[in-house]
Amino acid sequence: MNLLAIETSCDETAAAVIAETGDIARPWRIRSNIVASQAAIHREWGGVVPELASRQHVRDICGVYEAALDQASVGIGDIGAVAVTQGPGLVGSLLVGVAFGKALAWSRSLPIVPVHHLAGHIESLTLAHGELPLPAAVLVVSGGHTSLYFIDHPGRYRLIGRTRDDAAGEAYDKVAKLLGLGYPGGPAIDRVARNGNDRACDFPTARLTHADRNAPRPTADGILPADIARRIDFSFSGLKTAVLRLVRERTGTNPDVRALKAAASDEAGSMLPASDVADIAASFQRTVVDALLDRTFEAARWLEARSIGIAGGVSANSRLRAEAEARGAALGIPVFIPPLALSTDNAAMIGAAGLRKLRSSGAGALDFNAEAGLRLE
């Protein structure tokens, strides 16, 4: 069967056709994967403007859908089911995909599967590499999320760690803005960091040893001992402030706290020499990558995981990819990372998660709605 998938949770309008292969070890094949990026529109504003994003999704969705059918060389009559991202994300953006998906499913009498965006990122791993050896520890690291999942059964995602404040991708985007590197920040820092000394600046790494009093809810109980579970959480806002302080010191501005807050949108970094920007970017990147991998590998060791997965936009990062593979090789644990086209937002991964869900729990009714804060476990 062919499934048509739609993804519009943030600033990418995407559609894909995914086919079932009949092979249990490698269950899905990509027939087409179309992404219309809005990056050029939001770059002008230094970040995603939700209202502009929704309007652009409306403009692009029909063309992207048609291109996905064309690239797959199929017609709508060859499609057996529809999957669409239900959340989390920007509600106005999500609504465009959800309304389009529902209208398509209703008009063609097709089953429709609402998909969690992070389930999509996780299933990008199986889509690219086949079923992971389980149990697996999977890190989803994107612009909106930094979450670690334990997977002991295909399609069952148990949250064991998450960021207490900013997502790693968000930290990349904010630090890039501060350094005058523009939007989106992740790829820009990745590029500039290659020319920098990653030991030039000594940024702090947050160590979380206390319980989180502001936690929205606990992560899965009983999978990890309580003290280990706490250590597995992430925090990136202190690191971001440390970079801000350093930039203001070097550019000769008094780094008092009020000024720091006000300067969050400054591009003070553009006043720094290129070699300083490269050193700061490289040191920041080293700190982020170490924080991500230390916790992921520690959790994997405790859980006796047979594999590690890393997915989401930040998994496109060259240092993260290289270090994850080196650590995995040294410890004898296989590390799976999607190819670049499946790291950042796309609809193929939503199709994979949609087929997984369709086969395990069936289609949804047509009365589901977009949910900006949808949770996964």
Scan residues 123-152 and list those touching ligand KG4 (CB under 6 A): 142-144
Instruction: Please select the residue that binds ligand KG4; options are 27, 114, 185, 364, rule is CB under 6 A.
Output: 185
Annotate 286-331 with DSSP letters as a single string. HHHHHHHHHHHHHHHHHTT-SEEEEESGGGG-HHHHHHHHHHHHHH
Give me the residues paired with residue 336 across strands: 309
Task: For residue 102, give the H/E element and its range.
Answer: helix 91-108
Instruction: Please select the residue that binds ligand KG4; options are 317, 338, 349, 356, rule is CB under 6 A.
Output: 317
Specify the residue for token string 């476990």. Answer: 377
Annotate 156-217 with DSSP letters as a single string. EEEEEEEBSS--HHHHHHHHHHHTT--SSHHHHHHHHHTTS-TTSS--------S--TT-SS
- For residue 231, the SS3 value is helix
Instruction: Please select the residue that binds ligand KG4; options are 48, 224, 244, 316, rule is CB under 6 A.
Output: 316
Which residues contribute to the site for Zn ion (CB under 5 A)? 142, 345
Minimum CB separation of residue 84 from ligand KG4 in Å reads 15
Part in contact with ligand KG4 (CB under 6 A); list of ranges 74-82, 167-175, 197-205, 240-248: 167-175
Cα–Cα distance measured from residue 91 to residue 369, given in angstroms and rounded to the nearest whole number: 10
Stretch 264-303: interaction string toward ligand KG4, x if CB under 6 A: ----------------------------------------
Instruction: Please select the residue that binds ligand KG4; options are 82, 345, 348, 358, rule is CB under 6 A.
Output: 345
Residue 172 touching ligand KG4 (CB under 6 A): yes
- For residue 224, the SS3 value is coil
Residue 173 touching ligand KG4 (CB under 6 A): yes
| Comparison of 36 and 303: residue with beta carbon closer to Zn ion | 36
Instruction: Please select the residue that binds ligand KG4; options are 4, 6, 10, 104, rule is CB under 6 A.
Output: 10
Binding-site ranges for ligand KG4 (CB under 6 A): 10, 142-144, 169, 172-173, 184-187, 190, 312-314, 316-317, 344-345
